[in-house]
Chain A
């Protein structure tokens, strides 16, 4: 999966670092570092982080590999891209 965090919008609430610690990490008090291409196994954690971000700063795109991994019942068939955050 590919992700990008709008760090203008990020306010360091650290919900993502709590829910997906292998992908997001706080660096100091309020700086966020993240892995822009997390492994497919992280999908559930990352989706939780996207949903939990109070400022909606995380944009996530699931790739075909992610769709094959852990197929969720609510996944839209054939949809390769899915916005995880809003502008």
Chain B
């Protein structure tokens, strides 16, 4: 006997003939399902996805696909193993009854579960003016269908493309347009591209890249309106500085919104910032009490991380979806003493203007930055972010082989500025400068990590009371 609950057979029964429902049939949902089967789950597995497609990979959509090197409907994810699931594709989940352990679907069906995994991810933030957003030639980029439409529009040879928002996706789109020889204007509310994710110092480097590649980059401006022509096609955009940009294609790239509306009124701790869960991926309810049968993984989750002051982190990262799905699946099928915390060190990549940008850690926590290796002028460097005297993040431009080293530095809470003298004799010396992140109270689009406070039951922002 190792403890109460271990031998009551409930876990064995769950593994043998329990019912697991996964809402969200993308990267996190698929990888979790594979892990469950790997761990010997033999019961019924139901996969629910609002898109009519089997799980596919999204990163190629803003890169290979826009460049015409790959086709949007051919990015389906490889399977690690067969998952023998009952698929409900093209049907969104519309409600959750926690007491009855039931998920309601858009077609009226209901699915009962013993364990539920929520991996509904995020969607592109639409253009706020619905009528303008519906104009022909206005796109967002998140799904396979979005990419297919945008690719077709770019192939038609528009006179000018306007990208609204210079986060990672917007920058990658602008880069692809330039590579295709298209004129492109980028309008960014912040002072530079990528400021929300990487701060102003790196943002300045990104701005130089845009301009050197012929992007008409306008920063510190907002697009105040889109104007359509007589045929309902977008024709021009009006900017807050009074200027007008004529464009036949407009890509709205204003970050993402969490898909949590379907949980309103369910009693789960879900809101605009995601679904709060503990380090073991178990969801909190609105009272801040952790549930024992509902788990969360991927972009929609926000969970506390020991390395980053137990702040709740929302990570829109490919690698996080894979790692968190794996942990959630493991924990769903484990006794409490065998559960694992999700302690993945945030990491992401972006490819734009022929430069590979990679990062580890949480750059937006950084208050200072120091170029440690390479050359800023050549766009080939590593830089580290410091927070309260320790290394909290690092970013590389075409220097990715150093990232592992910096990851160790972050994991071991190494001191900042780093005491090692670098291989380079840097002309400016080893002096950190302010990392120059925008005021966190001003919402920015495009940070791929959101620090969302400490409390799972933070009533300031999370809970939308039910209206029904």
Given contacts A12-B400, A35-B64, contact A27 B79 (CB under 8 A): no
Q: Chain B residues with Cβ under 8 A from A35's Cβ?
A: 64, 69-70, 74
Chain A 34-70: CB-based contact to B (< 8 A → 1; otherwise 0): 1111000000000000000000000111000000000
Interface on chain B toward A: helix, strand, loop, or mixed SS? mixed
Partner of B355, one of A10, A31, A84: A31
Interface string of B31-66 (1 = CB under 8 A from A): 000000000000000000000000001011001100
Q: Check A37 against B82 for contact (C-beta < 8 Å).
A: no
Q: Are B60 and A36 in contact (CB under 8 A)?
A: yes
Nearest opposing residue in chain A for B82, CB measure: A81
Within the complex, which residue of A8, A27, A33, A61 is in contact with B78, where a contact is CB–CB below 8 Å?
A: A61
Question: Which of chain A's residues 1-17 have a Cβ closer than 8 Å to chain B?
Answer: 1-4, 6-8, 10-12
* Contact size range, B: 35 or more
Measured CA separation A60–B78 after assembly (Å): 6
A34 surroundings in chain B (CB, below 8 A): 60, 64, 70
For residue B154, CB closer than 8 A to chain A, the reply is no
- Chain A residues whose C-beta falls within 8 Å of the C-beta of B463 in the assembled complex: none
- Docked-complex contact A2 and B77, CB < 8 angstroms: yes
**Does residue B262 face the partner (Cβ distance < 8 Å to A)?**
no
A74 near B: Cβ within 8 Å?
Answer: no
User: Which residues does chain B contribute within 8 Å of A29, judged by CB atoms?
Assistant: 354-356, 380, 398
Please report the C-alpha to C-alpha distance between residue A56 and residue B71 in the assembled complex, in whole angstroms: 25
Which of these, A11, A36, A83, contacts B57 with CB under 8 Å? A36
| CB-contact partner of A36 in B75, B81, B318, under 8 A | B75
Contact of B76 among A2, A10, A11, A33 (CB under 8 A): A2
B308 interface hit (Cβ, 8 Å): no
B449, chain A: closest CB distance, angstroms: 14
Instruction: Say yes or no: B400 contacts A59, CB within 8 Å.
Output: no
Contact pattern, B 179-215, Cβ under 8 Å of A = 1, otherwise 0: 0000000000000000000000000000000000000
Asked if A59 contacts B80 (CB within 8 A), the reply is: yes
Contacts of A87 on B, CB cut-off 8 Å? Answer: 322, 326
Q: Does B387 contact A (CB under 8 A)?
A: no
Residue of A nearest to B398 (CB): A29
B467 adjacent to chain A (CB < 8 Å): no
Is B81 a contact partner of A37 (Cβ separation < 8 A)? Answer: no
**Which residues of chain B are within 8 angstroms of A31 by Cβ–Cβ distance?**
351, 354-356
Per the bound structure, the CA–CA distance linking A31 and B357 in Å amounts to: 9
A3, A30, A80, A81: the one contacting B400 at CB < 8 Å is A30
Residue B347 CB within 8 A of the other chain: yes
Closest A residue by C-beta to B77 = A4
Besides the known contacts A12-B400, A31-B354, 9 further A-B residue pairs in the complex with CB atoms under 8 A apart: A2-B79, A8-B319, A33-B64, A35-B64, A36-B64, A36-B75, A37-B71, A81-B82, A87-B326
Nearest first, the 3 A-B pairs at minimum CB distance are A28-B354, A61-B78, A37-B74
Q: List residues of A whose CB falls within 8 A of some B CB.
A: 1-4, 6-8, 10-12, 25, 27-31, 33-37, 59-61, 80-81, 83-84, 87
A/B interface sample: 12 pairs, CB < 8 A: A8-B348, A29-B380, A30-B398, A33-B63, A33-B64, A33-B69, A36-B57, A36-B75, A36-B76, A37-B71, A37-B74, A61-B79
Residue ranges of B at the interface with A (Cβ–Cβ < 8 Å): 57, 59-60, 63-64, 67, 69-71, 74-82, 318-319, 322, 326, 347-349, 351, 353-356, 358, 380, 398, 400-401
